[in-house]
Chain A
Amino acid sequence: EIQLQESGPGLVKPSQSLSLTCSVTGYTITSGYDWSWIRKFPGNKMEWMGYISYSGSTNYNPSLKSRISITRDTSKNQFFLQLNSVTTEDTATYYCASLLWASFDYWGQGVMVTVSS
């Protein structure tokens, strides 16, 4: 079974970069699926942030396009999120998820990130 696990700092200062890792087990990320980041803000609003495909191409939410980068390390079967110039409005729980035919089938448990000085 595919399992995903997010990791990264829970606290980031305003104007700095947020960096998270998603480790995937049970499936090789170059075999298929697109690998996505989604966040849930306080108050339940959900936002799809972007994905990296099994081939390495990326697709980002235009609302984040100038600040976001999703990359991968195929040797470690991991993919990464970097969000630059964060503000308090980026405080959220961040999830990684597998994406197949526009369906988010498998999710990580989520990591809560607070942006605060």
Chain B
Amino acid sequence: DVVLTQTPSTLSATIGQSVSISCRSSQSLLDSAGNTYLYWYLQRPGQSPQLLIYLVSNLGSGVPNRFSGSGSGTDFTLKISGVEAEDLGVYYCMQATHAPYTFGAGTKLELK
């Protein structure tokens, strides 16, 4: 299975600070058709996961544009430009290029 390594595991931020989360894959996530199936989800406390980013860099429905995704091949980044209180929770990257779908271990974003 593809292993996704997220760093850091915990991130402390102040409101308004910009932060980044890294997701590195054990294999390239570029498929033979030129697609890269890398996603980002946020699970807020007490809630279900919510799709933030699909196909590396596309914003999910209703997701604020302070979130952005980038990367290629095996290295991917989620950036939050100006953390807000509602952004606290656990962030997961997920890949769907190689069966089975796999998730990173999660990055907990907390207030400093």
Query: For chain A, which range describes its interface: under 10, 10 to 19, 20 to 34, or 35 or more residues?
Result: 20 to 34
Whether A102 lies near B48 (C-beta < 8 A) is no
Cβ-based interface call for B90 (8 A): yes
The residue that A109 contacts in the complex, of B48, B99, B102, with Cβ under 8 A, is B48
Cβ-based interface call for A46 (8 A): yes
* Given A48-B101, A102-B39, A102-B101, CB of A108 within 8 Å of CB of B51: no
- Chain A positions within 8 Å of B96 at CB level: 102-103
CB distance from B88 to the nearest CB of A (A): 14
Cβ-based interface call for A42 (8 A): no
Cβ-based interface call for B76 (8 A): no
CA distance A69 to B8 in the complex (A): 36
CA distance A109 to B103 in the complex (A): 19
Whether B39 lies near A107 (C-beta < 8 A) is no
The residue that B37 contacts in the complex, of A102, A108, A110, with Cβ under 8 A, is A102
